[in-house]
A and B are shown apart, each in its own frame.
Chain A
Amino acid sequence: EDQVTQSPEALRLQEGESSSLNCSYTVSGLRGLFWYRQDPGKGPEFLFTLYSAGEEKEKERLKATLTKKESFLHITAPKPEDSATYLCAVQARTGTASKLTFGTGTRLQVTL
């Protein structure tokens, strides 16, 4: 059974204080690993897709990386508007392509 574990559950940073969120996974053949941002009271918003170990993607202050067992979402010099819950999901190579297995998320709060 595919599994995704995200840590920490919650993270509080001061503005400008860089850190990383972790997503560890077990999957029967990885087709893709995805990161989403979810603001309170809203649906998730797609951020990145990673397909193979060693791959990196960047968007503004966010950089996602992938190894064979985990992915990191690095946040460089965060701002208060980066506050949100960040979700990780995996898609297995076998089975239905519609099935994404989601983690429970990391709730990030960035303060002034």
Chain B
Amino acid sequence: NAGVTQTPKFQVLKTGQSMTLQCAQDMNHEYMSWYRQDPGMGLRLIHYSVGAGITDQGEVPNGYNVSRSTTEDFPLRLLSAAPSQTSVYFCASSYSGRVETQYFGPGTRLLVL
């Protein structure tokens, strides 16, 4: 099993550009989520999904979009990048009801200029 994979590993964007961060898992997990990690702050939940076709907002959803068309994939879209979105983004997955044991991907480091 590859576990949770994320692409790209690193990306530089200009303000106003859009992009999609990819996330895939091969463990047949129902639950998937996106977090951002910033210096001096704990991990913060952006969006999550409890199954294909179902998504919901987390703590910091503004400026981000998600969709879940398959169990395996959960892409995160930045609609119009801003410097405040410079961060490390982690995707995670778990079985339903076991969010605490979620498996995290290796992260995408995003720099918005």
Binding site for B on A (CB under 8 A): 4, 32, 34, 41-46, 49, 87, 89, 91, 96-105
Contacts and interface: CB of A to CB of B under 8 A. Distances in A.
A99 B42 CA distance: 13
Interface residues of B, number: 26
Contacts, number: 60
Contacts of A103: 42
Contacts of A43: 4, 90, 92, 103-107
B100 A91 contact: yes
Contact of B99 (A4, A42, A98, A104): A98
Contacts of B50: 98
Interface in B15-53: 31, 33, 40-45, 48, 50
Nearest to A31: B100
B40 A99 contact: no
